[in-house]
Amino acid sequence: MRSSTLLATAAALLATTASAAPGASKTATYPSTPAYPYCTSYATPFASVSKTHPRLFNYNGTGASFFAGTNVWWASHILSDSDLAIVFAQIKNTQLQVARVWGFGSVNTDPGPDSVFFQLLNSTGSYINYAANGIPRLDAVVSEAEKVGLKIVINFVNNVRSSLHQPSNLADSSQWSDLGGIASYNAAFGGNATTWYTDAQSQQVYRAYIKLLVNRYKCSSAIFAWELANEPRCHGCDTSVIYNWATEISQYVKSLDAEHMVTLGDEGWFAAADGVGDGSYAYGGGEGVDFVKNLGIATLDYGVFHLYPDSWSYNETWGSTWIRQHAAIGAQHSKPVVLEEYGGPPSPDNHTAVEVPWQRTVLDDTRLAMDQFWQFGTIGLSTGISGYDAYTIWYNGTEYASLAREHAAEMLEKRV
């Protein structure tokens, strides 16, 4: 999803004037002492693909199971430790097992101490922010997740808006480049949304950032998986561009950390060659993504797909077809598949009638390992309300019982 309504300071993250951040370091090394304690639960097994049920996950060493999760991209971009503790406690007490969190936050100019950013990019390279509003916020996320027994997916980079098929509530084309992402690389080093995947300098800096995060947190049982990008697209490209990039980058991540899972983070588009669907937008390969081909990459442990029919000009009942199609491909490959984001329609407190049938499809008609609604939101934080958009499911709001609590419990109870 495109995290359309950000924290109040997020707009500053896309400034393009190059300058070094006062708290940033250009070195490839990182402080040996984290700002918060993590990697403290050495007895807790890492999440993995189940050996006996290869389409499911072994969450914590107790065997294969189904479960639900959520997206809380903004957890790494809040400055209050107490707020973070509230958020993760609320997610955990809902029995949601996995939270997807942005591990990226790149800028081209320093936005100041009240905004979180992890990396400053300019023509001279990458500067990592180790000040209180930088990498320590990711330290806090991993530490708090360990403390409450929550697992997290950490994503390395955001995509840029590359076509007209975006949610109707995102009229500003800059918004999908939230928190820097590929756009900030292109501002620093040149290139565009399609050349980024093969641009030597951008890929070198991207790999260096991956190395920093993976080496810093690979000892933690809180990491559910590493994710290459949020909704990667290469509009108009041959699907080999993203396939080759995902192959190389996932191999690189595995060379750094062979113990944790890796996934792509794509929306699950099909290509014409797959023989799935009617050849319309989601099935034509126009965004340069081939879900079937990508699921065959050996160093990607599981596949993901997203679901926003209103954004893609499909009716809402088509969502269950989309779910079944991806589950069928997962069965063919004998790999876990996750409905990683879903939302609709984009209007507050008006999601239950549409999303409950999707959840029933996951529960009753498929063996999808997990689904993760977009997105979790809460109130009562020191800043007021959390990051949100029109798809947000609010903690203990009118829709929360059915879409979060009840669904999470049903997924856990589903027979393996």
Distance (Å, whole) CA 154 – CA 218: 11
Alpha-carbon span 46 to 214, nearest angstrom: 14
The string of pLDDT tens digits covering residues 316-357 is 999 999 999 999 999 999 999 999 999 998 888 889 999 999
Catalytic annotation on 406? no
Active-site annotation holder among 144, 227, 231, 287: 231
Burial class, 251, CB count within 10 angstroms (exposed 0-12 / middle 13-18 / buried 19+): middle
Tell me the average confidence (pLDDT) per consecutive run of 10 residues in the chain, 416 residues long.
36 30 44 81 85 96 95 96 98 98 96 95 95 96 96 94 36 50 95 96 98 97 97 97 98 98 98 96 97 98 97 96 98 98 89 97 98 96 90 96 98 98
In Å, how far are 2, 126, 188, 201, 237 from 191, measured between CA atoms? 21, 16, 9, 10, 15
Distances (CA, A) of 124 to 26, 169, 198, 405: 9, 36, 19, 48
Assign domain 65-413 to a CATH class. Answer: alpha beta
Of 287, 340, 341, 355, the catalytic one is 341
DSSP per-residue codes, 7-25: -TTGGGGG-------TTEE
Half-sphere exposure of 67 (CA within 13 A, CB side): 21
Query: For 216-245, what is each residue's pLDDT tens digit?
Result: 999 999 999 999 999 999 999 999 999 999
Q: What is the pLDDT of residue 78?
A: 95
Rg, Å, the chain Cα set: 20
Active site residue 316: no
pLDDT at 27: 39
Spatial neighbors of 20 by CB under 8 A, at least 6 apart, are 26, 110, 120, 122, 124, 127
Q: List, as one string, the DSSP characters of 72-107.
A: -GGGGG---HHHHHHHHHHHHHTT--EEEEE---EE
Per-residue tokens: 365: 């008609």
Q: What is the pTM of this model?
A: 0.91
pLDDT given for residue 401 in this prediction = 98
Q: Domain segments of the chain: what residues?
A: 65-413
Write the CB contacts of 136 (distance below 8 Å, at least 6 apart in sequence): 34, 35, 36, 130
